[in-house]
Chain A
Amino acid sequence: MATDIADISATATRTITIECQRYDPEADAAPHWQRYEVPFRDDMSVLQGLQHIKDHLDGSLTFRWSCRMAICGSCGMMVNGVPQLSCHAFLRDYFPGTVRIEPLHHFPILRDLVIDQSDFLDKLESVKPYLIPRQDKPLAGGANQQTPQQMDAYYSYSQCINCLLCYSACPQYGLDSSFIGPAALALLHRYNADSRDQGWAARADIVNAEEGVWGCTLVGYCSEVCPKGVDPAHAINQNKVNSTLDYAGLRRLLLPKGATE
């Protein structure tokens, strides 16, 4: 067969230095760095490097991961100062330099590379992330109809995997965590933009608040780091126009159409 075990083991193995930020809440006053020398092949992700450390070098290293294929959103961390999914970044791209891994910025550190995401979970709930139709339709009323163009209006904003890279990228969230933040606001827009939803009024309090779209200064880094092309910067900033129209009492001019009740 094309790829058998002998071929893989015969591939040249180099060694890369991975520096991890360590923090044991019961023993440390502050986080500190720890270096590991990790043998790697060209096809290894940063996550696999961490798994090698945990399996062979230091079983105490703690980090989140699951799918290994950039869809679960569990393995977000700072790799050389950039928010990344560790399964989506490859050791070969950092060699021969050192790979410095920190927990996601702007969240409290629970342990090693694990952060406290509870604030985000609260924000996610607060934006009413469900369809709010003008009238509730009974099951007998049949399925909702939607054209491809109508789906296109919100589809990309529905691709969020809640990986939190955008929150780590957002300095406004870092400076003031009362900011609802990129992913939650993108999700809010996902529902406002859905033709089956007429919930603008229900979500307006959040959109129009300082903690809503007005906490954003269009740094734009959130959309840069998003692994799913959600473009939260676009979701938030087009709603600055909507929020301004709302402020002027012109809800009938909101875009996309059909977003109001």
Chain B
Amino acid sequence: MSRHRSTASGYVRPMAGWWRRNPYFLRYMAREGSALALTAYALVLLAGLACLAQGEAAYERWRALLTTPLSIVLHLLALALVAYHALTWFQVMPKTAPRLPFAPGLITAAGLAASAALSLLLVAWLAWGVQ
């Protein structure tokens, strides 16, 4: 198959634990691991929807679970992980764009700004806009 295959077989090193050997890879695994938090959160929302459809008693049980210290702590952890996802998402986004006539950092900044603006808008709307 190879036109260039050498006559020696060569010593092949194992890949196990590769991501633990470089801080860059650790950050990559953390970025990818944020998907677990996002999936879990989506399932919490799905559970809430199911309880909503079932009736008031089920929905109140879902709400009560959300107020437990364990739930709050897990949501804070999820918040940190998904925030890390958001940061790294906008950091790598320029790599999927074609060559642009401006610095790639602008895409990152714009994305983060949009995320911050939408977040502020939602919090403000809930705090002062909802009757």
Residues of B within 8 Å of A175, CB to CB, are 15, 18
Q: C-beta contact mask, A11-50 vs B, less than 8 Å → 1, else 0? A: 0000000000001010000110000000000000000000
Q: Is the CB of B22 within 8 A of A81?
A: yes
Question: Is the CB of A55 closer than 8 A to any CB of chain B?
Answer: no
Q: Is the CB of A105 within 8 A of B25?
A: no
Nearest 10 interchain pairs by C-beta: A108-B10, A118-B4, A121-B4, A109-B11, A255-B98, A237-B95, A116-B10, A237-B96, A122-B2, A234-B95
15 CB-based A-B contacts, threshold 8 Å: A25-B9, A108-B9, A109-B11, A117-B4, A171-B18, A174-B15, A175-B15, A219-B24, A219-B28, A220-B28, A221-B25, A221-B28, A224-B24, A233-B95, A241-B96
Interface residues of A in 177-223 (CB under 8 A from B): 217-221, 223
Question: Is the CB of A256 closer than 8 A to any CB of chain B?
Answer: yes
CB proximity of A109 to chain B, nearest CB, Å: 4
Q: Is the CB of B2 within 8 A of A119?
A: yes
Q: From known contacts A25-B11, A31-B11, infer whether A110 and B96 are also in contact, taking CB-CB under 8 Å.
A: no
A108 and B5 CA atoms in complex are apart in Å by 12
Residues of A within 8 Å of B18, CB to CB, are 171, 174-175
How many A residues are at the interface, by size bracket? Answer: 35 or more
Q: C-beta contact mask, B14-34 vs A, less than 8 Å → 1, else 0? A: 010011011011001000100
A256 and B98 CA atoms in complex are apart in Å by 7
Known: A105-B13, A220-B28. 8 other contacts (CB 8 A): A23-B11, A31-B13, A81-B22, A109-B11, A109-B12, A121-B4, A174-B18, A237-B92
Number of B residues, CB within 8 Å of A? 28
Q: Is the CB of B3 within 8 A of A121?
A: yes
Question: Is the CB of B123 closer than 8 A to any CB of chain A?
Answer: no
Residues of A within 8 Å of B25, CB to CB, are 171, 219, 221
Q: Is the CB of A81 within 8 A of B21?
A: yes
Question: Is the CB of A250 closer than 8 A to any CB of chain B?
Answer: no
A166 and B1 CA atoms in complex are apart in Å by 23
CB proximity of B106 to chain A, nearest CB, Å: 15
A224 and B25 CA atoms in complex are apart in Å by 12
CB proximity of B87 to chain A, nearest CB, Å: 14
A152 and B95 CA atoms in complex are apart in Å by 17
Among B3, B8, B13, which residue has its beta carbon within 8 angstroms of that of A116? B8
Residues of A within 8 Å of B6, CB to CB, are 110, 116, 118
Question: Is the CB of A7 closer than 8 A to any CB of chain B?
Answer: no
| CB closest chain-B residue, reference A29 | B11
